[in-house]
Amino acid sequence: MTRHLDIHPKDPEPRKVAQAVDVLRSGGLIAYPTDSGYALGASPGNKEAIERITRIRRIDKKHHFTLVCHDFAQLGSVVIVDNSEFRLIKSLTPGPYTFILRATKEVPRMMVHPKKLTVGVRIPDHPVALALVRELGEPILSSTLILPEQNAPMSEGWMVADEVGHALDVVIDSEVTSTEPTTVVDLSSGEPVVAREGAGDTSRFE
């Protein structure tokens, strides 16, 4: 049965955050708020969770999963970042951006793009999302909760529970700060390429 947790959007209650993280550590799948709508989250390397996300979103094997990080130090442990990329990412985070970079050996193989050997990473500007990652102590395997045939991520906890709650272990009910998905910037080729325009400003890449 799906568990519902009401968590304050600006001052997340540690006890409730810990309850959600316990579910992640035990192999569960959660829906949680970010600065770009709701996302599905699990612990890294959770093969079953990846399969569950794939079924919910009906995505193929070429989909870039994202590792949601608490800070730049954590981000730097899962992707290879050179000096110019460091400055760019540092200037845009925390915020509604996902960056595609070459993965380090710390990233479970099942999360890495099979041909490009890349993975998406981001640092969200949302207290609940950051509290979850901090409590977990490692990045959250994540995918924006955009249902098939929809263009925007889900933005209301009650709606998430109603539409896909049966496929989840926990739904965190809290406010999102934007209903647009992240802007995705592919840095894997050495030059920034906007792979998807979203909530993050793209003017500096034009």
Residue 42 sits in a domain whose CATH number is 3.90.870.10
Q: Which helix (H) or strand (E) holds 74?
A: helix 72-76
Residues 6 or more apart whose CB falls under 8 angstroms from that of 159 comprise: none
- What pTM does this model have? 0.93
Counts for the chain of helices (H) and strands (E), in that order: 6, 10
pLDDT value at position 188? 92
Residue 21 and residue 170 in contact, taking contact as beta carbons nearer than 8 Å: no
| pLDDT surpassing 90 at residue 151 | no
| pLDDT surpassing 80 at residue 64 | no
Average pLDDT on 124-143 reads 96
pLDDT value at position 150? 87
DSSP 130-161: HHHHHHHTSPEEEEE---TT-SS----HHHHH
What's the pLDDT tens digit per position in 91-121? 999 999 999 999 999 898 888 888 889 999 9
Structural domain span for residue 66? 3-205
Residue 87 and residue 72 in contact, taking contact as beta carbons nearer than 8 Å: no
User: Considering its fold, how many domains does the chain have in total?
Assistant: 1
